[in-house]
Amino acid sequence: MISIKSDREIELMKIAGKVNYLTHLEVAKHLKVGITTKELNDIAHKFILQNDCKPSFLGYEGYPASICISINDEVVHGIPGRRKIKNGDVVSIDIGVEYKGYHSDSANTYIVGTAPKEVKDLVENTKKSLYEGLSAIKSGAKISDIGSKIESFANKCNLGVVRELVGHGVGTSVHEDPDVPNYYTKDSRVLKEGMVIAVEPMLNLGTRHIYMEEDEWTIKTEDGLPSAHFEHTVLVTKDGYVILTGE
Ligand code: MF3
Ligand code: CO
């Protein structure tokens, strides 16, 4: 069942989204060569608590940290630790924030220092693919239009679309109905005003295929080439959408 949020719920989700966005800014400020991913995690954790919110991911299905940090060939769900950021790293930061029982979910990918043009293009085009997908959103549009747009844009850029992980509804849980895949499906359900969904393309420079690390969280590309991930939580409106995890 896809929930329709009340005005009150939307107000709470806007706050969860705003704090999520501000946490991203705070982490980005400290993202430099030499800092460890655990230090970045702790900066996010503290900032979220200071803003009367909770980190949604901590303890989610046993996840052991407050945010996910996935570097280079890591696609998503990298666990922060002692690893230091290096020049040229492609760093995806994924943050979930809960305010009074309501969640927001958002991811950004950064290049630290210098990287080859094809890697810069990967990151830029993954971000563009998110906005391509979002452009399909309005009341009455098919949920599957989002994935079709992302997939065709990724194909044009010759990037691999990860299929095993998908976007999702967001509300009293980080993951709610519906699934929002980043590729074409036959799902004929339509979006309605008041739905809140997270759209989150994960695009790979090489193969779309992935595997899970021994830590049972970190997802990596099969060929070792880099991957990028961008995600916003958005509210569906009559004519379009409002990004809850932006400015
Ligand atoms: N942000 C992830 C998503 O978009 C969820 C991370 S769940 C965690 O679906 F357990 F890894 F934290
Ligand atoms: Co998500």
Q: Is the CB of 131 under 6 A from ligand 1?
A: no
pLDDT at 123 over 90: yes
Percent of the chain with pLDDT over 70: 100
The four Cα atoms 145, 148, 154, 157 give a dihedral, to 10 degrees, of: -100
pLDDT score of 79: 98
Measured in degrees and rounded to the nearest 5, phi and psi for residue 20 equal -60, -50
Cα of 104 to ligand 2 centre, how many Å? 9
145-202: pLDDT as tens digits: 999 999 999 999 999 999 999 999 999 999 999 999 999 999 999 999 999 999 999 9
- As a whole number, mean pLDDT of residues 51-73 equals 98
Q: Give residue 89's pLDDT band: very low, low, confident or very high (50, 70, 90).
A: very high
Q: Concatenated DSSP letters for 101-170?
A: TEEEEEEEEEE-S---HHHHHHHHHHHHHHHHHHTT-STTSBHHHHHHHHHHHHHHTT-EEP-SS-EEE-
Question: What is the number of the ligand 1 atom nearest to the C-alpha of 67?
Answer: 12
Cα of 57 to ligand 1 centre, how many Å? 6
Question: What is the number of the ligand 1 atom nearest to the C-alpha of 200?
Answer: 4
- As a whole number, mean pLDDT of residues 80-88 equals 98
What is the average pLDDT score of the chain? 98
Q: Is the CB of 65 under 6 A from ligand 1?
A: no
Contact between residue 181 and residue 167 where contact means Cβ atoms under 8 Å apart: yes
Cα of 185 to ligand 2 centre, how many Å? 19
Percent of the chain with pLDDT over 90: 100
- As a whole number, mean pLDDT of residues 51-74 equals 98
pLDDT at 61 over 90: yes
Q: Give residue 247's pLDDT band: very low, low, confident or very high (50, 70, 90).
A: confident
Q: Which one of 3.30.479.30, 3.20.20.80, 3.30.413.10, 3.90.230.10 gives the CATH number of domain 7-243?
A: 3.90.230.10
Cα of 42 to ligand 1 centre, how many Å? 17
Which residues fall inside 5 Å of ion ligand 2, going by CB?
A: 105, 198, 200
pLDDT at 84 over 90: yes
Pairwise CA distance, residues 45 & 64, whole Å = 12
Tokens standing for residue 146: 């989002």
Q: Give residue 218's pLDDT band: very low, low, confident or very high (50, 70, 90).
A: very high
**Nearest protein Cα to ligand 1, atom 5:** 57
- As a whole number, mean pLDDT of residues 122-144 equals 98
